[in-house]
């Protein structure tokens, strides 16, 4: 058992964060990634200060992140009439000790991949290896069942298996065979990136519209000094009748931009032309706003779920990737305390599952965009003076409740010790509680 690696199913942001964390604390691991050749897929994502702190602990600090994104300065909600509903500074400007980043998801994944190959060796990251299931062996670890890209079937033995295999997780499907189907509340998102001039602070996240129809946009690159143009990530979203159910889809379903323009044709302001921004994208992807119901456990003996496989959530709170990084660090800390054991997996589950399940449900209620719901209830979204509709104290209280729930409340984060103490490594005898591998 001692010589067996930890197996990590999935080489996304979560899986690679696990690999880098395990390497840092001296635990051998092998990443099994289904895609044969990783490519920088996706569009923009946010890394909240708590995740940036953890990446810095992994040696991927601001100097590196500055090469793939921009430090966010503001988060703002704007009503359909163009009036501000709420705005607050973000990252360093807000007083966090670590910045918040807006980055290209694919660029971040490739950065983590290259760091993992460099540190763990290319043999530790096996692409073209799809995990289809697992077999438990009591106290003797676990076997991952693998289908390779070139049509072979393999079995690989490990001490533990961490299922970080995303929305359609095969590990989760085996662990929870009767889980409800993917949940869809009726919102459809179209996503793309367009070269444009950044507005407001130059690094502002702006949500414009109503809770049923909005456009969210933010730069994910610095402005080119010669042209003043940056890569602007945008998400255009509408809510439709979900009675017909979710018709399937993944992150890579392309659509013709002209099919979405009619929803936003009238959205032109002297500071933004929404149809022009949408039309400026080379590619537009459709993605339904989907998640999964929280589950009663993320652990089955020597097997645990992590990242989207454990808790895929609506992206309304911009914390899917952030939570995957935090999960990886909490898992590493649990191994330092409990050894490379099922007991560590239980400690990880006990520390995170309930709270993160709460964030999943909170994001269903629109997450921080819930302020727009409130605005709609009180004035149908039509207002001149926002203070008369939702007083400033109420707006701030709403936002701080969300940040506490999502784990990036500023005072708490700034005062907290690192999740993994500098130089800590796994070693010594596993505590007695770890002798059973039962779930």
- List residues near ligand FAD by CB under 6 A: 9-15, 32-35, 41-43, 45, 105, 130-131, 164-166, 170, 191, 251, 307-308, 315, 320-321, 324
Closest CB to ligand FAD among 30 and 390? 30
Among candidate residues 255, 245, 299, the one with its CA nearest the CA of residue 278: 255
Query: Smallest gap, in angstroms, from Cβ of residue 108 to ligand FAD?
Result: 8
Query: Smallest gap, in angstroms, from Cβ of residue 2 to ligand FAD?
Result: 25
Closest CB to ligand FAD among 78 and 321? 321
Query: Smallest gap, in angstroms, from Cβ of residue 156 to ligand FAD?
Result: 12
Closest CB to ligand FAD among 45 and 389? 45
Query: Smallest gap, in angstroms, from Cβ of residue 39 to ligand FAD?
Result: 8
Dihedrals phi, psi of 370, to nearest 5 degrees = -55, -25
Closest CB to ligand FAD among 105 and 395? 105
Query: Smallest gap, in angstroms, from Cβ of residue 168 to ligand FAD?
Result: 6
Q: Which residues neighbour 186 within 8 Å (Cβ) at sequence distance 6 or greater?
A: 239, 240, 241, 242, 289
Closest CB to ligand FAD among 17 and 79? 17
Query: Smallest gap, in angstroms, from Cβ of residue 11 to ligand FAD?
Result: 5
Closest CB to ligand FAD among 171 and 375? 171
Query: Smallest gap, in angstroms, from Cβ of residue 107 to ligand FAD?
Result: 11
Query: Smallest gap, in angstroms, from Cβ of residue 12 to ligand FAD?
Result: 2
Closest CB to ligand FAD among 32 and 272? 32
Cα distances from 91 to residues 24, 47, 75, 163, 180, in angstroms, run 26, 10, 10, 31, 37
């Amino acid at each position: 058992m001692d010589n067996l690696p930890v197996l990590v199913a999935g080489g996304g942001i979560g899986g690679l964060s696990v690999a880098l964390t395990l390497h840092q604390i001296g635990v051998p691991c092998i990443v099994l990634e289904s895609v044969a050749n990783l490519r920088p897929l996706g569009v923009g994502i946010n890394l909240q200060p708590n995740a940036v702190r953890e990446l810095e602990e992994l040696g991927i600090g601001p100097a590196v992140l500055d090469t793939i994104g921009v430090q966010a300065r503001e988060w703002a909600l704007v009503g359909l009439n163009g009036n501000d509903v709420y705005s607050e500074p973000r990252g360093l400007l807000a007083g966090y000790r670590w910045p918040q980043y807006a980055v290209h998801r694919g660029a971040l994944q490739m950065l983590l991949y290259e760091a993992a190959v460099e540190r763990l060796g290319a043999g530790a990251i096996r692409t073209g290896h799809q995990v289809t299931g697992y077999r438990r062996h009591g106290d003797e670890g676990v076997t991952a069942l693998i289908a390779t890209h070139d049509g072979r079937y393999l079995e690989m033995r490990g001490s533990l298996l961490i299922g970080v295999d995303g929305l359609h997780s095969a590990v989760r499907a085996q662990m929870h065979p009767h889980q409800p189907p993917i949940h869809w509340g009726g919102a459809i998102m179209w996503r793309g990136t367009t070269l444009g001039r950044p507005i407001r602070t130059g690094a502002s996240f702006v949500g414009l519209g109503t809770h049923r129809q909005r456009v969210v946009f933010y730069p994910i690159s610095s402005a080119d000094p010669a042209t003043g143009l940056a890569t602007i990530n945008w998400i255009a979203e509408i809510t439709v009748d979900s009675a017909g159910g979710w018709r399937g889809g993944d992150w890579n379903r392309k659509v013709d931009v002209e099919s979405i323009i009619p929803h936003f044709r009238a959205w032109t302001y002297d500071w933004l032309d929404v149809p022009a921004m949408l039309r400026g994208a080379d590619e537009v992807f459709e993605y339904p706003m989907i998640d999964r119901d929280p589950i009663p456990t993320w652990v089955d003996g020597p097997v645990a779920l992590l990242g989207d496989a454990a808790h895929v959530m609506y992206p309304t709170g911009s914390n899917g990737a952030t939570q995957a990084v935090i999960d990886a660090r909490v898992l590493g800390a649990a191994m330092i305390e409990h050894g490379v054991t099922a007991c560590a997996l239980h400690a990880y589950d006990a520390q995170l599952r309930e709270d993160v399940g709460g964030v999943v449900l909170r994001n269903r209620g629109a997450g921080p965009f819930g302020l727009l719901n409130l605005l709609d209830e009180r004035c149908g979204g039509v207002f001149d003076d926002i203070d008369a509709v939702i007083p400033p104290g109420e707006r701030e209280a709403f936002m701080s409740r969300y940040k506490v729930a999502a784990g990036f409340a500023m005072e708490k984060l700034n005062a907290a010790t690192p999740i993994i103490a500098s130089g800590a490594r796994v070693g010594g005898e596993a505590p007695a509680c770890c002798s059973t591998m039962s779930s």
